[in-house]
Amino acid sequence: MHPHRSSFARLAVGFASLLLCAFQSAFAQVAADYFYFDAESLPGGTPLPQPPFFPNPWKEPSAQHPKRGKVVADPTAPQGKQVFRWEVAAPRTTELFHEVRFARLPEARVKDYYYAFFVRFDRRDGRDIWHDGEGDSFDKAFEVIGEGIRWVIHFGNHAMRLPKHRFSCHLSNASYHLNRTLERYDGFYQNHDDLSRPHSSQHNSIPLEYEKWHAVVFKLKWATDNTGEVVLWVNGKKVLAYQGIQTAKPPGTFERLQLWGTIAQPGYDAPPHLRSVDALLFTDQWQRIVDLGYLKAR
């Protein structure tokens, strides 16, 4: 064989396998996520695409959501240069309600799933969105829903003795209430000394500031017996962990993600504000959580 042709052939084979490698790696990464949206691929000002962001109750793509979020450029974006944002102009109950269709359905079997996102709440007229101190004023905000599955990451205040002008977050297993231990409090909701093992705390859930991005990671270990687990990290800090619990009621099949179910319940009195989200992810790959920066202190 001609020496040039031989080296060209080797080069071509090398290049082809490199391409194959890159393709496999890219495909593996995409295939690993059950859902991911980071607002980078659409022009600023574009309403959230439908699918995957549907109004509730579920409507087909021709019925546009009246209160859809928008893709917007944001120099503070925690990922890339754009985020997605909702403007809340007046007190609302559930008008922002969005159902979010998975890119592919997670499997109903024992395994670890991670629901992660960056979120930010901006006040418009100086008034806080939720009440601080005692009392309830919280959102049913980021949910994962299915037949026998409902886990909710709430924002606001659930009788948490919050400092002035701070909000917090907590978990619930609304609808199914498979673990009443999550719902007790001895002055603080969750983080009870005995209930949130082994990361129990004598103090409140993490107090969060307005006008700042926060990184949230929710781990759901799916189990229909008492071998499941839920863990919540906020800005890189593990703030809740319940192990040895049932997390799904049979059949425990996944259906969708959900955003902004209720706002500032039970008063429904939130003043005008902005709510922004970036890099909304549902995956079974812990490495994605690490690589995309959800665990960095903020």
What residues make contact with Ca ion under the rule CB under 5 A?
Answer: 38-39, 77, 79-80, 82, 278
Least distance from Ca ion to the Cβ atom of residue 135, Å: 35
Least distance from Ca ion to the Cβ atom of residue 79, Å: 4
* Contact predicate 189/155, CB 8 Å: no
Return the number of the residue (44 or 133) whose C-beta is nearest Ca ion: 44
Return the number of the residue (79 or 173) whose C-beta is nearest Ca ion: 79
Cα distance between residue 275 and residue 108, in whole Å: 31
Cα distance between residue 43 and residue 116, in whole Å: 24
Least distance from Ca ion to the Cβ atom of residue 38, Å: 4
Cα distance between residue 149 and residue 258, in whole Å: 12
Return the number of the residue (80 or 293) whose C-beta is nearest Ca ion: 80
Cα distance between residue 254 and residue 149, in whole Å: 7
Q: Give ∠ CA 284-257-215 in degrees, rounded to 5.
A: 65
Closest CA to 252 of 140, 114, 111: 111
- Quote the distance between the C-alpha of residue 140 and its chain's center: 12
Closest CA to 258 of 152, 109, 122, 104: 152
Cα distance between residue 184 and residue 187, in whole Å: 9
Return the number of the residue (38 or 132) whose C-beta is nearest Ca ion: 38
Least distance from Ca ion to the Cβ atom of residue 277, Å: 9
Burial class (CB within 10 angstroms; exposed 0-12, middle 13-18, buried 19+) of 220: buried
Least distance from Ca ion to the Cβ atom of residue 281, Å: 11
Least distance from Ca ion to the Cβ atom of residue 52, Å: 16
Least distance from Ca ion to the Cβ atom of residue 84, Å: 8
Cα distance between residue 29 and residue 47, in whole Å: 26
Return the number of the residue (80 or 135) whose C-beta is nearest Ca ion: 80
Query: What is the three-class DSSP state of 249?
Result: coil
Return the number of the residue (38 or 99) whose C-beta is nearest Ca ion: 38
* Number of residues that make up the chain: 298
**Peptide linkage before 75 cis (omega within 30 of 0):** no
Q: What are the tokens at 42?
A: 């659409």
What is the number of the residue whose Cβ is closest to Ca ion? 80
Cα distance between residue 294 and residue 298, in whole Å: 9
Return the number of the residue (38 or 128) whose C-beta is nearest Ca ion: 38
Least distance from Ca ion to the Cβ atom of residue 78, Å: 7
Return the number of the residue (138 or 213) whose C-beta is nearest Ca ion: 213
